Structure 1
């Protein structure tokens, strides 16, 4: 396939020449290529890596002239391969395009904030309130790890997901689900302005006032279908806004157990009870993960290896590397939202002591104060991928408020247990699970309350979300599909 003229960035055609073909393959890797490169045909005719907006404009103009489709990848983590394409079409890879630390990730000045707020908001009282807030201009190319680190340096935070290498671009368009979902909503709920290059290769700046329909479509519609997004302007939270007189400081727990079905059911019961109670205060967030053996836990919980060497030396092989058994991980958080807010120590204590075989228990903010900008970094998973295998992924959402009564806890634990602890004759021996279950609901939840805020994110009435990822040897894909 021909390359694009007047394009300063790198280009990789899907060519027959062995060297060009190898370069194309090296740059065609995405999260989903392990599972969907063939069935979803993730084989673009040309991969381009723009250096700037001029390159993107050249690529869009070329595609329009040649009647080609364009796919966009900011990080390439779309699970079904939708940020790739096939045939003679073009993949625009933005991973390295906008990474200037001065231009592409910065706090807006006071005058810029004033102009933005007056353009988007008509109510004078709300204008005054929002003009005192903090806004960040961020490109789509930043990883969540880098984005989180920048906010921490500036004593700010915003809700976002746990995967360190996911990029801001696709993450915001699909919502930006994460640990702070109940207390602060989604990352996409914080977007005020979107800079993009549209199908006519024109630069546009979109907000709820200037183009509410396009704004609505981008934030919750299929990522990359409405233009090449380059930057977002987002409202962020300052640590100082959650430092109240007479209130406790933020609290958090991250605990790890050897996998045990009784422990899993005890923790899931807490999630179910929280989801069933519409009056659960907004301050609380709760998530439970279950991970099969061989999961790289050190990327999730630094320092765990030293504890394991002391207490469980038998899991270390002759090479000194650990053979991790299945585990359960708890993430729980409380944040003050008003003066005199007090956290419930019993809630944390009951969670930390919910089961047997606990390996590690980190409590944040108990002895040493911890700002929210510091707390959010504790929930980040620092490995790029869970398991190096193909996968089947399922996400289940419910708006039920009778989960405990309906036996949901037992149903979920049995399904997970089948993969975690298969019999010697079970085909699930060739499967590995990464499961994450989180409470989002209740009338006080910002995930719920942010419905109809101009975005199009779905299922805002959900009480609990369960994501079940089953990684398999390629010949056992049918087993995962039946899970």
Structure 2
């Protein structure tokens, strides 16, 4: 593999856009690449994979070399642990560098005898991390996607199924090891930052990868043995509009949402298609995800298929009572479905360890469909009664039915987060991070995947969905509140009031970005705190100078017809 001036002593692998062809295309892959190719260039100049000497995770030489190279050549650095960011914000363009940490930091070490304090490297995929915890009878709340990297997941919150009962993954982060600018030494150094530090607050929920390179985190971990009365329901039903409405309506019932230790999530997924997992389209067809057509999408599972379906996850952790439990009500609805139209995987007929519930929450698939997609994520601070008044559940069912009839592929999720007694809300009151909208009650994600000839339909479908957020006639909420992990645009400054709940929070983060990244290394794209949409003075001057010269030339009659000749004719 070629060495490059300034990176000769870099220990890890380097992949070049110019030199490494197909291998580079694989290494630069991002989840968003096939969908956002026209919006942002996700083909960095180099993709760098740092290595440590003899597995010593205190060795950061390659990181420092990448930082020195970026400073010397005035380049930016994008940091990736999983590459699963939905709008491609963990990548950058051909002028800049991609630092891939997906295999660099794999430490997993218990700090205490009781195994409730853990130091872990950020290079684990979510499935790897959950599996290691489960093996020890331990768990933490976390997200669902198998290939999400722990580094990015920690910084954007770690939203998931257990959020109402336990809060977010980031609520259990005590310390972060980060390589960032030291204002005293005026250089980039490795340090541990603790919960409560200003840099800690900025890193968690501020702007992913925007304040330095995080390598390790220390966590407080939860024990299965402390929740000996946990119960769960995990079931899959063939899609039926009336059935989906019933499940959604339970989410809006007062007697359900007031149960403090109850978590409930509904997922809808469109029919995979009979040929899913086989050769599907040509590699140069931009409808499809090239990497996984080429390499085999479903690992060893062969032809993995599913119909239009509803997936139910409902958990209780400490107060299960069959007579009053919301899970029993959900189970009763499922039992009305014909046995051939349902599959119950985890049932409430016995206690299940919370770690097993978390493990079953992980979806063992990189992406639902090998197609381009348009993503949406909506949150609402409305109370359940208000959603009942707007007939929200009817609106959801109608939107999904329309997508099915228009041959769009949809992956949608609906979750109740809130209530003043929820851990999601209460842990947010500690104000130790920059995550916003901790007073939200409901979250919805709406992803539509589509064949290339259905782009117009998919766009119109999502634009109509956007109307559920409105100040005039809302169905779901009257203000636009977004989450960093579910972003569907790349202009953070323009939409910052959607991602941050106060203007002061955003201003403070912009200040901290300047303080801890004064050389502006960690701003590889526009989805970063502190990137202002300002006019570059030199660029503007060059454009205006050329315009002025053109005007002068036309006044001198250079053989072209100026537009004002048309105006002069009218006055004759």
Alignment of 1:76-91 (within 5 A): 76-91=83-98
Deviation at 1:30, TM superposition (A): 1.1
The structural deviation recorded for 1:346 is 5.1
Unaligned runs of 5+ in 1: 111-131, 244-248, 300-319, 423-427
What are the residue-to-residue correspondences of 1:83-122 with 2, within 5 Å? 83-99=90-106, 104-109=107-112
Q: What are the superposed Cα offsets for residues 336-393 of structure 1, whole Å, 9 maximum, x if unpaired?
A: 17xxx646565223212326354211334624x4221222111110111111111111
1:22 corresponds in structure 2 to 22
1:4–1:477: structure 2 CA closer, same or farther, 3 Å change rule?
farther
The 1:451–1:295 alpha-carbon spacing in structure 2 relative to 1, beyond 3 Å, is: farther
Q: Distance in 2 between matches of 1:133 and 1:107?
A: 6
Structure 1 residues 167, 295: CA separation in 2 closer, same or farther (over 3 Å shift)?
farther
> Which residue in the other structure is 2:532 paired with?
none
User: Does the 8 A contact of 1:278 with 1:441 survive in 2?
Assistant: no
Out of 473-482 and 134-143, give the one that drifted further. Answer: 473-482
| Distance of 1:213 and 1:343 partners within structure 2 | 46
2:344 corresponds, among 332, 353, 361, to 361
Secondary structure of the residue that 2:242 maps to in structure 1?
Answer: helix
Secondary structure of 1:354's counterpart equals helix
Structure 2: where are the runs of 5+ without partners?
53-59, 182-186, 278-301, 462-572
Q: 1:71–1:91: 8 Å Cα contact kept in structure 2?
A: yes
Q: What does the per-residue CA deviation read over 1:283-318, in whole Å, with 9 as the maximum and x for residues that have no partner?
A: 10000000000179x99xxxxxxxxxxxxxxxxxxx
Instruction: Confirm whether residue 51 of structure 1 aligns to residue 51 of structure 2.
Output: yes
Q: Does 1:75 align with 2:85?
A: no
CA contact (8 A) 1:159 1:178 kept: yes
What is the rounded CA distance, in whole Å, between the counterparts of 1:254 and 1:279 in structure 2?
19
SS in 2 for 1:36: coil
Say if 1:3 and 1:11, in contact at 8 Å, map to a contact too: no
* Aligned equivalent of 1:169: 151
CA distance in 2, matches of 1:374, 1:257: 21
TM value normalised by structure 1: 0.81
**Among 348, 352, 356, the residue aligned to 1:374:** 356
Cα displacement (A) at 1:322: 6.8
Which residue of structure 2 aligns with residue 449 of structure 1?
Answer: 426
CA apart distance, 1:216: 1.1
> Which structure has the larger Rg over C-alpha atoms?
2
Equivalent pairs, count = 414
Query: 1:5: Cα distance to partner?
Result: 2.5
- Corresponding residue of 1:476: 454
CA contact (8 A) 1:278 1:443 kept: no
Q: Considering only aligned residues, what root-mean-square deviation do their CA atoms show, in Å?
A: 2.3
How far apart, in 1, do the equivalents of 2:273 and 2:152 lie?
25
Q: Cα distance, 1:3 vs. partner? A: 6.5
Shift of 1:281: 2.4
The alignment status of 1:233 with 2:218, answered yes or no, reads yes
Deviation by residue 1:95-114 (Cα, 9 ceiling, x = unmatched): 11112xxxx1121135xxxx
**Aligned counterparts of 1:278 and 1:325: Cα–Cα separation in 2:** 29
Secondary structure (helix, strand or coil) at the match of 1:403 reads helix
Q: What is the 5 A alignment of 1:247-396?
A: 249-273=229-253, 280-294=258-272, 324-336=306-318, 342=321, 344=323, 347-354=326-333, 356-357=337-338, 358-364=341-347, 366-367=349-350, 369-396=351-378
Instruction: Say if 1:156 and 1:237, in contact at 8 Å, map to a contact too.
Output: yes
Distance (Å, rounded) in 1 between the aligned partners of 2:344 and 2:256? 29
* TM-score w.r.t. length of structure 2: 0.69
Change (3 A) 1:133 1:149: closer
Q: Note closer, same or farther for the CA distance 1:446–1:11 as it changes in structure 2 (3 Å cut).
A: same
Residue 87 of structure 1: how far off its partner (Å): 2.5
Provide Cα deviations, 1:231-286, integer angstroms capped at 9, x if missing partner: 1111111112223xxxxx21111111111100010001111225xx6961221000
Q: Which residue of structure 1 aligns with residue 13 of structure 2?
A: 10
Q: Given that residues 162 and 379 in structure 1 are in contact (C-alpha distance below 8 angstroms), is that contact kept between their aligned partners in structure 2?
A: yes
